[in-house]
A and B are shown apart, each in its own frame.
Chain A
Amino acid sequence: MIFEISKSGNPLFSKIHPVLADILRAVALDPWERYPDGSARLLPPPGDDEELRSDWEDHVQPELRHHFDSERGLVFADLEAMKQGRGKNAAWSLEIPFKHCDAWLITLNALRLALVSENCFSEQELAHMTSPDLGTERGLALMSVNFYAFVQECLIRAMDVTDGESATPVDPD
């Protein structure tokens, strides 16, 4: 798999193995449906104050849920536009419109958080550099978490390059 910036200035992943393409498509699935226990992490409480927590549940969390669903919708549309080369097991390519990078980062992060929480991965497992056992569901989940992290890092680098070219640092300190 190769990551580069396309001529249009968009992040472009190419030579994506069909297996990885399937793992990528899973990004657009609803984590609340797939990982009901793990998804609790996606809407944490704002603090210990009971009134605030109640207010948050009633008004803020539905807005956040809608926000996450909207972002995932953009990711779904981009995944639908993935292109496959010629041949039965040809590699795929995915070009992500630059304006969708935030949506991808949030959707990828949400899925990673839900996967880790659902599988109760420890910090040691997350940091382990050896390959997980791909013969188990847990091993596949850990591999997915790491793969999605790689995609996130690529997108962040692409966004940082753009920010660095035009942004003026603001330091209220």
Chain B
Amino acid sequence: MPGWMVVTSPASCWVPAPESQKVPGRKAHSWRLSVKPFMGEPGIFESPGTSLLEGLDQLWIVVVHNDPVNLMSYVSMVFRRVFGWSVQRAEKHMMEVHTKGRSVVWSGGREQAELYVQKLHGCLLLATLEKS
């Protein structure tokens, strides 16, 4: 009686992320897990050093750090433009950066976190992505 196996490797079982989720020139960090029919004994196979859920549920946060050169009005404007926030929310995070030295402005998957950090760097804000 065939069952199903969940594999983390070999690589042939992993499907690359769709083109719409890829960033040109960047290594693909996201992979879809493929579940294949298994004709042998049931079980879960894992290759050493690979976690089944690695990369799938890891949350990343985007942090903006204080730089005294950046005008507060400029930082607030960048937040509104990049994240689509209201004036109130942008000001709140801007003041958090100003008074506490940093503010977590977004959390989610790694690819999107990288895109946000790139946009913030494009506006010359100090931003990093960290594992949540």
Instruction: Kindly state the separation between the CA atoms of A46 and B121 in the bound complex, as whole angstroms.
Output: 9
Contact of B87 among A47, A64, A169 (CB under 8 A): A169
In the assembled complex, the CB of A48 is this many whole angstroms from the nearest CB of chain B, namely 8
Instruction: Kindly state the separation between the CA atoms of A79 and B117 in the bound complex, as whole angstroms.
Output: 31
Contact of B69 among A60, A105, A126 (CB under 8 A): A126
Most chain A beta-carbon contacts within 10 A, residue among B86, B118, B124: B124
What 0/1 readout, one digit per residue, does chain B (68-107) give for beta carbons within 8 Å of chain A?
A: 1111011001001000111111000000000000000000
Contacts of B118 in A (CB 8 A): 60, 63-64
Which chain A residues numbered 38 to 52 have a C-beta less than 8 Å away from chain B? Answer: 42-48, 52
> Are A46 and B71 also in contact (CB < 8 A) when A59-B26, A160-B77, A169-B87 are?
no
> In the complex, are the beta carbons of B27 and A156 less than 8 A apart?
no
> In the complex, are the beta carbons of B71 and A156 less than 8 A apart?
yes
> In the complex, are the beta carbons of B73 and A156 less than 8 A apart?
yes
Contact of A106 among B117, B124, B127 (CB under 8 A): B124
Contact of B86 among A52, A59, A109, A169 (CB under 8 A): A169
> In the complex, are the beta carbons of A109 and B70 less than 8 A apart?
yes
Instruction: Kindly state the separation between the CA atoms of A171 and B27 in the bound complex, as whole angstroms.
Output: 32
Instruction: Kindly state the separation between the CA atoms of A75 and B76 in the bound complex, as whole angstroms.
Output: 23
Number of interface residues of B (CB under 8 A): 30
Number of interface residues of A (CB under 8 A): 38
> In the complex, are the beta carbons of B127 and A46 less than 8 A apart?
yes
Contacts of B86 in A (CB 8 A): 169-171
Q: Residues on B close to A: CB < 8 A?
A: 25-27, 67-71, 73-74, 77, 80, 84-89, 114, 117-118, 121-124, 126-130
> Given A46-B114, A173-B89, 10 more contacts at CB 8 Å?
A46-B121, A55-B27, A60-B26, A64-B121, A113-B69, A116-B69, A127-B68, A156-B73, A160-B73, A171-B86
Can you give 26 contacting A-B residue pairs, CB < 8 Å?
A45-B128, A46-B127, A48-B130, A52-B129, A55-B26, A55-B27, A60-B26, A60-B118, A60-B121, A64-B118, A67-B122, A109-B123, A112-B69, A123-B68, A145-B69, A149-B71, A152-B71, A156-B71, A156-B77, A157-B73, A159-B77, A160-B73, A160-B77, A163-B80, A170-B84, A171-B85
Q: Residues on A close to B: CB < 8 A?
A: 42-48, 52, 55, 59-60, 63-64, 67, 105-106, 109-110, 112-113, 116, 123, 126-127, 145, 149, 152-153, 156-157, 159-160, 163, 169-173
